[in-house]
Copies of this chain bind each other. A is one copy, B any other.
Amino acid sequence: MDRQELVSQIYSKGSYLCVGLDTDPDKLPDTLKNDPDGVFTFNKAIIDATRDHCVAYKINTAFYEAMGRKGWELLERTADYLPTSHFRIADAKRGDIGNTSTQYAKAFLQMLPFDAVTIAPYMGADSVRPFLAFEGKWGIVLGLTSNSGADDFELQRMAGEGSPMLYEEVLRKVATWGHPGNLMFVAGATRADAFTRIREIIPGHFLLVPGVGAQGGSLGEISKKALTTECGLLVNASRAIQYASASSDFAEKAEAVAMAYRSEMTSLLLPRIGRIGRMPI
């Protein structure tokens, strides 16, 4: 999916919601716990219930890998079920030397039908660039993450002019390896204070923002600081939507939460884009 299609989706729905599918078999509602195909049935129901309210889905590969061979099959089936109208993200946090990153890119952008993969930047240019070499596909590089461990390295200061923090250097340098049409960055909603600075460094790139909902970040605060005239945000909620209810009404409750996010997003977007439904000129 290219940038214009993504922006068009966002404008027409008044939503920049990404629904995360971090499905843990231990957290399935009781009605699905003994179903041998429970995880897929659950994912399918969550997708069906939320698709009108979100523009993207993000599958956290760890939860599927933890199920072994059967998990990779579930990952494939879930990815295949994601609507092609939506931006489909493999949240895999991969990154290795060039020839290996190319294999990871193939895994998610060719063998599986994802539009984007999340990437860990530690190993530098030749570990990131292979993900940006696929026409119409995207790399989403970790910038400033939502977890407490961001303090350990990401928020440490570097030597040199202005003593930038490591994540600032990552944003600045990685931005030169791609462009706003094939590269996004992860910025955690729990780091709201940093969003003004992030927008100074990368004014035009989309940000994938985890950390609202279960992790406690504020949608309103992030949006005020980082929305652009092309929206520029995909805000993810996983647990808050998937596990909105532990009972058989889980899909209904998931839809209600997704709808509430969409509604808040519409009101945050409106001042930026004029009216919902119109594409930017």
Contact A173 B157 (CB under 8 A): no
Contact A96 B93 (CB under 8 A): yes
Min CB gap A147→B, angstroms: 4
Interface string of A100-112 (1 = CB under 8 A from B): 1101101110011
Contact B62 A104 (CB under 8 A): yes
State whether the Cβ of A166 lies closer than 8 Å to any Cβ in chain B.
Answer: yes
Of the candidates B66, B142, B150, the one whose C-beta lies within 8 Å of that of A111 is: B66
Determine the chain B residues whose CB is within 8 A of the CB of A153 once the complex forms: 121-122, 124, 166, 169-170, 173
Contact A150 B166 (CB under 8 A): no
Of the candidates B76, B127, B150, the one whose C-beta lies within 8 Å of that of A123 is: B150
Of the candidates B22, B127, B152, the one whose C-beta lies within 8 Å of that of A125 is: B152
State whether the Cβ of A95 lies closer than 8 Å to any Cβ in chain B.
Answer: yes
- Copy tally for this chain in the complex stands at 2
State whether the Cβ of A60 lies closer than 8 Å to any Cβ in chain B.
Answer: yes
Given contacts A66-B103, A103-B62, A107-B65, contact A149 B125 (CB under 8 A): yes
Min CB gap A94→B, angstroms: 7
State whether the Cβ of A38 lies closer than 8 Å to any Cβ in chain B.
Answer: no
A188-233 CB contacts (< 8 Å) to partner B: none
State whether the Cβ of A145 lies closer than 8 Å to any Cβ in chain B.
Answer: yes
Interface residues on A, range: 35 or more
Of the candidates B65, B68, B158, the one whose C-beta lies within 8 Å of that of A158 is: B158
- In the bound complex, how far is the Cα of B76 from the Cα of A63, in angstroms? 17
Contact B69 A100 (CB under 8 A): no
Determine the chain B residues whose CB is within 8 A of the CB of A126 once the complex forms: 147-149
- In the bound complex, how far is the Cα of B142 from the Cα of A147, in angstroms? 19
State whether the Cβ of A159 lies closer than 8 Å to any Cβ in chain B.
Answer: yes
State whether the Cβ of A4 lies closer than 8 Å to any Cβ in chain B.
Answer: no
Determine the chain B residues whose CB is within 8 A of the CB of A125 once the complex forms: 148-149, 152
State whether the Cβ of A151 lies closer than 8 Å to any Cβ in chain B.
Answer: yes
- In the bound complex, how far is the Cα of B76 from the Cα of A95, in angstroms? 21
| CB nearest to A73 among chain B residues | B69
Interface string of A6-39 (1 = CB under 8 A from B): 0000000000000000101000000000000000
Determine the chain B residues whose CB is within 8 A of the CB of A127 once the complex forms: 147, 149
Of A66, A95, A149, A156, most buried by chain B (CB within 10 Å of CB) is A149
* Partner-B contacts on A (CB < 8 A): 22, 24, 60, 62-63, 65-69, 71-73, 76, 91, 93-98, 100-101, 103-104, 106-108, 111-112, 120-128, 142, 145-154, 156-160, 163, 166, 169-170, 173
A-B contact pairs, 16 of them (CB 8 A): A62-B104, A65-B108, A66-B111, A93-B94, A93-B95, A97-B145, A120-B120, A120-B122, A122-B142, A122-B145, A122-B154, A123-B142, A124-B150, A124-B152, A153-B166, A157-B158
